[in-house]
């Protein structure tokens, strides 16, 4: 059976569409839904935080290079301005059969469709002593984590000696670790403190620049050369087993002393996903069809970090990155496909291509990574293309993109046509493709590119 025959337009006088999560995936998706759906349909955004935060900017916050306020916007003001109902609170339960969402203090929200864009929770408890909550290491995964990391960083600068940066096993996004590492080294040089500090990078990657992707053209060479130039020691294939007040223990017996450590945690699904039978996998990530729809619950869609992406042998047990651009593309697919169901669009169903670009700021230089698509073809093991480029211009590009992203959130834009056009013209990347020829029995995970 072909997908095009599976869906029937569900013309409703009024439908309630709920987006859970007000971050990089949730807010743009809510905007796109509001733009696409006729006014009689209600769009609701549920967020457990009162602000939208541009999460990639938290590395600079942690190193005291930017204020947190510079990368935050008030959700109450934005949603009111653009006709979106907003609910502040943490989702505590969800009944996928009755389509009822429970928000803390037992507030019940009914919906016809829900798009889950919650991001993830953090598995600090997987390693004794890891994390800012009763542990000895810091993180840049949330605003509160970044603020705590900044306070500790300023104290570290008073008498800096040993700095350790890295990631625990199971991490799915290594970019923030590399950014923090090289930007911290650059900041120490700027302050005339570099010679006082030993810096170690510890990672479960099989080689530097792997990034959970493998085979990303030129990434290993650029990363290793930069490590050598900066005098940074690196430990690859590392498994952190425990952390105490002054050292990080690895499975091979090595101990890394530190006065300051920033270690990224592995992710797992948020609590309510883990509580709903059949909604998520054993780690709380949500399986989806190529349309970003749940295979069992046709009213449930998911995007971003909350999604379970298919495993790939080349990844060697590491998590697969889900970049901000990939998240936005999933949100665009969710919006389009809900619109098709509600009769707001007569186009084909769409699936995200999972083609990704990442600008990484490394102090006085930077590296841009492009993978099209992120998952290689399962038959050939190859991507359509991939590359990595280094230069100061990368930092300028990242700064410009951050300013642009904050502006478009202020203006109520999701993914405007000119941004999609620019990604295609400048980087050869596409976000969506038609999904009408995908066989239903193959729709257990995203399809990958094949020529």
**CATH code reported for the domain at 14-120+269-442:** 3.50.50.100
Distance in angstroms (rounded) separating the CA atoms of residues 189 and 232:
13
* Distance from chain centroid for Cα 257: 30
Residue ranges in 259-387 assigned as alpha helix (H):
271-275, 324-341
The dihedral region occupied by 7, where left means phi > 0, alpha psi between -120 and 50, and beta the remainder, is beta
Find where tokens 């046509």 sit: 417
Residue 11 has pLDDT above 90, yes or no: no
DSSP one-letter string for 143-158 = HHHHHHHHHHHHHHTT
Pick one of 3.50.50.60, 1.10.287.90, 3.40.50.1950, 3.40.718.10 as the CATH number of 124-264: 3.50.50.60
Residue 6 has pLDDT above 50, yes or no: no
Residues designated as active site? 173, 358
Which residues, 6 or more positions from 427, have their beta carbon under 8 angstroms from its beta carbon? Answer: 357, 370
In this prediction, residue 442 carries a pLDDT of 37
Label residue 378 by pLDDT band (50, 70, 90): confident
The stretch 254-265 carries a mean pLDDT of: 98
Q: Where are the domains of the chain?
A: 14-120+269-442, 124-264
**Of the candidates 128, 130, 134, 155, which has an alpha carbon nearest to the alpha carbon of residue 62?**
155
Distance in angstroms (rounded) separating the CA atoms of residues 432 and 294:
18
**pTM recorded for the entire structure:** 0.92
DSSP one-letter string for 201-266 = EE-SSSSTT-TTT---TTHHHHHHHHHHHHT-EEE-S--EEEE-SSEEEETTS-EEE-SEEEEEPP
Residue 62 has pLDDT above 80, yes or no: yes
The answer to whether 241 and 351 have CB atoms below 8 angstroms apart is no
Residue 198 has pLDDT above 80, yes or no: yes
Q: Which residues pair with 424 in a beta bridge?
A: none
To the nearest 5 percent, what fractions of the chain are helix, strand and coil?
A: 30, 25, 45
Label residue 118 by pLDDT band (50, 70, 90): very high
Find where tokens 């349909």 sit: 41
Distance in angstroms (rounded) separating the CA atoms of residues 315 and 216:
12
Helix, strand or coil for residue 295? coil
């Amino acid at each position: 059976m072909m997908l095009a025959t599976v869906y029937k337009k569900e013309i409703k006088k009024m439908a309630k569409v709920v987006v859970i999560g007000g971050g990089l995936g949730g807010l743009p998706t809510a905007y796109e839904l509001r733009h696409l759906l006729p006014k009689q349909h209600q769009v609701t955004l549920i967020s457990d935080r009162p602000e939208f935060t541009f999460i990639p900017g938290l590395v600079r916050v942690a190193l005291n290079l930017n204020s947190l306020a510079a990368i935050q916007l008030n959700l109450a003001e934005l949603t009111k301005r653009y006709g979106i109902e907003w609910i502040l609170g943490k989702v505590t339960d969800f009944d996928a059969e009755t389509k009822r969402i429970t928000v803390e203090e037992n507030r019940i929200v009914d919906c016809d469709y829900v798009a889950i864009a919650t991001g993830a929770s953090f598995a600090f408890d997987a390693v004794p002593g890891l994390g800012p909550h009763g542990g000895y290491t810091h993180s840049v995964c949330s605003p509160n984590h970044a603020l705590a990391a900044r306070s500790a960083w300023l104290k570290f600068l008073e008498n800096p000696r040993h700095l350790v940066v890295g990631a625990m096993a199971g991490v799915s996004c290594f970019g923030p670790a590399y950014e923090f590492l090289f930007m911290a080294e650059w900041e120490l040089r700027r302050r005339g403190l570099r010679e006082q500090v030993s810096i170690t990078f510890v990672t479960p990657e099989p080689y530097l620049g792997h990034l959970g992707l493998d085979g990303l053209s030129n990434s290993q060479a650029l990363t290793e050369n930069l490590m050598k130039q900066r005098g940074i020691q690196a430990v690859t294939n590392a498994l952190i087993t425990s952390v105490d007040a002054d050292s990080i223990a690895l499975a091979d017996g090595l101990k890394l002393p530190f006065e300051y450590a920033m270690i990224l945690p592995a992710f797992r699904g948020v609590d309510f996903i883990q509580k709903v039978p059949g909604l998520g996998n054993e780690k709380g990530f949500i399986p989806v069809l190529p349309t970003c729809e749940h295979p069992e619950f046709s009213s449930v869609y998911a995007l971003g970090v909350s999604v379970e992406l298919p495993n790939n042998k080349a990844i060697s047990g590491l998590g697969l990155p889900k970049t901000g651009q990939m998240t936005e593309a999933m949100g665009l697919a969710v919006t389009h496909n809900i619109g098709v169901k509600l009769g707001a669009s007569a186009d084909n169903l769409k699936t995200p291509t999972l083609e990704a670009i990442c600008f990484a700021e490394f102090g006085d230089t930077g590296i841009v990574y492009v993978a099209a698509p992120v998952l290689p073809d399962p038959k050939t093991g190859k991507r359509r293309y991939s590359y990595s480029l280094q230069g100061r211009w990368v930092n300028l590009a990242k700064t410009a993109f951050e300013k642009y992203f904050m502006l478009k959130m202020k203006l109520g834009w999701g993914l405007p046509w000119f941004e999609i056009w620019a990604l295609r013209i400048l980087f050869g990347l596409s976000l969506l493709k038609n999904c009408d020829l995908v066989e239903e029995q193959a729709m257990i995970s995203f399809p990958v590119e094949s020529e």
